[in-house]
Amino acid sequence: MQVQITPVSKVKTEAKVLLTAEEVNSCFDTALSKCAKSARIDGFRKGRIPKPVLLQVYGRQIAMDASEEAVNKFSREALQQVGDSGVEVIDSTPELAFNDGSLSRGKEWAYTLTVDNYPAIEKKDLSGVSVELYSINTDDKAVEEALDALRVERGTYQVVDDLVIAKDENQKAVINFTGTKDGVAFESGSAKDYELYIDRTRMIPGFTEALIGHKAGDDFSFDVTFPEDYHVEELKGAQAKFDVQIVSVAQLQKAELNDDFIKSLGFDPEKGKTLEDLKNSLSNNLKTQYANRQTDLNVDIMQRAICKEYGDDIEVPEVLVEAETRSAFSSLFRVPANSKLFESDRVKGIIDEIRESLRPNLKIHCLIHGLIQANGLVDSMKEQEGELEAELKRSACAYEEGDDVDFEEFKKKALEDEATVQECRTRIYLAKLEKALRGLLTVTEKQISFKEYAEISQKLKEEKAAEAKAAEAPAAN
């Protein structure tokens, strides 16, 4: 057997498999023997039909079966040769083409396999690419901040007379408002007794800010401009006026740090649990959660820096796009990935939207995949024995509440849950990826609080959204 390997594109490779006459004869004889055992012809006993008669009656079927035998017998080795040539084949069904039709005994024969592959990525010196990475504090101050957040979460709002609304305060205002455009009220622009949390309710730009400095009983008006990307077409970029009445203003009263509070979190004082036990649990939890979040953030930062270095000329195999689209669609609508709904015209628009939304991340995936190959990091990325159990132990600490975790019981349940196992394996992979990418770039480190982490993550999210929007604009034109 000979294999001629030819690139069709950056993400497709053709392997022409050439078989000798001897190899063809072997496949032909196998097909003929199978036919002889099962064929029935009047006047002959089953299994005793002469070969010339079999060939005369079943010759075409035998040739087709021999072709199938050859493909099954030699394709695995052919694909192995494609992989050995440096082409990273994607695990999917190859396209098959018979160059010379069905094979014939005593003659050479060829067929072609066309496979999907990851794009080859050029190895570059990335040491000149500098990035700032982050480590989220998990010290005593971080634990106190987490404890304070729990007190806020379990707190209650108390109405306070003459309380003035202040920026970024833990306050809740109950308001009545009416919005008008060109003097006419617009749909969904009015509400009565609407609860607006000053520090977290998302309103259009300028709305919450206009409430600052006011108190219960105030009646006032202000103008705002709706964003250009507002979800209601007739309000995009429109000027509007809001008439507002402040009904009441309440201040958040944090939950008291007492026995009832720690008991509500699973630390029962009657069982000997104390505030220190809660703090220790929070510390373990933060170490796990923050480690995961900072890894996600750091990997994201490094991937974006590498993408800028390589540019946009990364082709994504359509077979990957299709597989991920089906998976996302399956999760969204809770249907099997092979559901006939996927082929329905009713959901074509949704599927197209999902497909295009996945392309940027798949482009990054292909780039990083190729980068790992080009830099000889494949072995370092493989999961090692014991790493899954270690990750499960780390996860168990994050789930700990009040009583000590029975790790063996936790592990048993976790291993029975495919989603949990996959999440752990993803964490293992991302930790390895962070280490691998750090070794390629020039890195500076910075300690940050969780609040700073949230701000950096939000800024990064907004940058991605802006880039995606900018990328869509030329396509729309």
pTM of the model: 0.75
Do 189 and 210 share a domain, yes or no? Answer: yes
Q: What is the largest CA-CA distance in the chain?
A: 109
Domain CATH number, residue 12: 3.30.70.1050
Do 284 and 340 share a domain, yes or no? Answer: yes
In a domain, 281, yes or no: yes
Neighbouring C-alpha atoms within 13 Å toward the C-beta of 203: 22
Instruction: State the total domains in the chain.
Output: 3
What phi, psi does 180 have (nearest 5°)?
Answer: -135, 150
In a domain, 38, yes or no: yes
In a domain, 141, yes or no: no
Do 410 and 340 share a domain, yes or no? Answer: yes
Do 285 and 409 share a domain, yes or no? Answer: yes
pLDDT bracket for residue 402 (50, 70, 90): very low
What phi, psi does 460 have (nearest 5°)?
Answer: -65, -40
Q: Output the pLDDT for position 154.
A: 93
In a domain, 138, yes or no: no
Question: Is the pLDDT assigned to residue 358 strictly greater than 80?
Answer: yes
pLDDT bracket for residue 245 (50, 70, 90): very high
Do 272 and 292 share a domain, yes or no? Answer: yes
C-alpha distances in angstroms, 359 versus 353, 373, 437? 10, 21, 22
Token code pair at residue 27: 């496949």
- Count other C-beta atoms under 10 Å from residue 292's C-beta: 19
- Nearest-angstrom CA–CA distance, 190 and 180: 9
In a domain, 313, yes or no: yes
Token code pair at residue 59: 């010759």
Do 317 and 437 share a domain, yes or no? Answer: yes
In a domain, 23, yes or no: yes
Domain housing 240: 156-253
Check residues 45 and 190 and name the one with the higher pLDDT: 190
Q: Output the pLDDT for position 472.
A: 65
Do 112 and 237 share a domain, yes or no? Answer: no
Do 244 and 298 share a domain, yes or no? Answer: no
- Nearest-angstrom CA–CA distance, 84 and 92: 17
Do 280 and 238 share a domain, yes or no? Answer: no
Do 314 and 409 share a domain, yes or no? Answer: yes
In a domain, 134, yes or no: no
Mean pLDDT over 291-315 rounds to 94
Do 98 and 202 share a domain, yes or no? Answer: no
